[in-house]
Amino acid sequence: MKFLICGLGSIGMRHLNVLKKTGDHEFAAFRSGMGTNRNTPEGVTEISNLDDLDKHNIEAALITNPTYLHIDTSIKIARHGIPMFIEKPLDMNLTNSDELYEIVNKKKIPVLIGYNMIHHPGIKTLRKLTDDGRIGKVISARAQFGTFMPGWHPEEDYKLSYAAVKSMGGGVVLTSIHEQNYLTHLFGEVMEVMAMETGNGVTGIDSEEGIEILLKHKSGIVSNIHLNFYQKPYYRNCQIIGTEGTLYWDFMKPEVRIMTDKNTEVLKLGDDPIELLNKSYNDQMMHFIKVAKGETQPAAGLKEGMEDVRTALRILKLINRN
């Protein structure tokens, strides 16, 4: 297949490197010129104009540029009827998202939103165990994600990265939308939202750096999300409480625990947490190839991406951040 990658920052490069291992593919890139790395990888052809895509025989496209560019870039590509992978979040405010949705529906274009965490063995195991009723009826859940943003790329000014800048779609709510997405994936549509901001200036970025969120899902389950950009060390986990026990997954441990008042069962998922993370990205790209070929339905489609952003915007409104 011939792939177009729009944006070759860290996430674009990660997807490119994964795709190179999945088959004998061709690659082209469209770049904004805003990133710090202007070196085009070997074997990748640069395209300067998205209006000329018809002559390049592109079979699938990845939109991996900054959040605020996702929709406009996607619309230009959708006009050519090309299957798309759009990195999460879909957008920062859903401006023009209805136009994208109309084009995609009219042309029947396959679209996958880039939520790699729903492809992670830990999250997939949580879903299977809850579906199988291993802890009885689920009552509530708590997900946490904390990271130290200043340590992401020490050689760069983190305050200038798009994840930090509000006008570029930054902030912990949109940048770290994975938890919101996978809890919705597990427990259904969000009906009610409550939120409170935390941190208030620890990192010095101009967008929200920490938040506590309460979600009530259509299923009746209530979930709590804690997100922050100031925590040391990195922390990510999920706890699901049911009538018969509790499930616990820690990103840094390749396992899921099934805990009851009688015993704790440990399900080993692998040997290393980074191995499982890499598997999530690999499985996501393998899934996208099938989606692009029309062989399967997307695990997270355009409609889901739009609903996630709508919920995120409700959260931001509650803390006066939109």
Strands 246-250 and 255-259, by their bridges, are antiparallel
Measured in degrees and rounded to the nearest 5, phi and psi for residue 4 equal -105, 130
Residues of the chain with pLDDT under 70: 32-38
What's the CA gap between 52 and 276, in Å, rounded? 38
DSSP state of 36: S
What's the CA gap between 48 and 7, in Å, rounded? 12
**What is the per-residue pLDDT for 200?**
82
DSSP assignment of 91-116, as one string?
-SS-TTHHHHHHHHHHHT--EEEE-G
Closest Cα to residue 126, out of 293, 247, 266? Answer: 247
What's the CA gap between 278 and 284, in Å, rounded? 10
**What is the per-residue pLDDT for 39?**
76
Half-sphere exposure of 224 (CA within 13 A, CB side): 10
**What is the per-residue pLDDT for 153?**
85
Q: 């939202």: which residue's tokens?
A: 193
**What is the per-residue pLDDT for 129?**
98
Report whether CATH 3.40.50.300 matches the domain 118-272+302-318. no
* Whole-prediction pTM: 0.95
For residue 296, which amino acid is it? T
Domain ranges of the chain: 2-116, 118-272+302-318
DSSP assignment of 219-240, as one string?
TS-EEEEEEESEEEEEEEEEEE
Question: What's the topology of domain 2-116?
Answer: Rossmann fold (3.40.50)
**What is the per-residue pLDDT for 38?**
65
**What is the per-residue pLDDT for 34?**
56
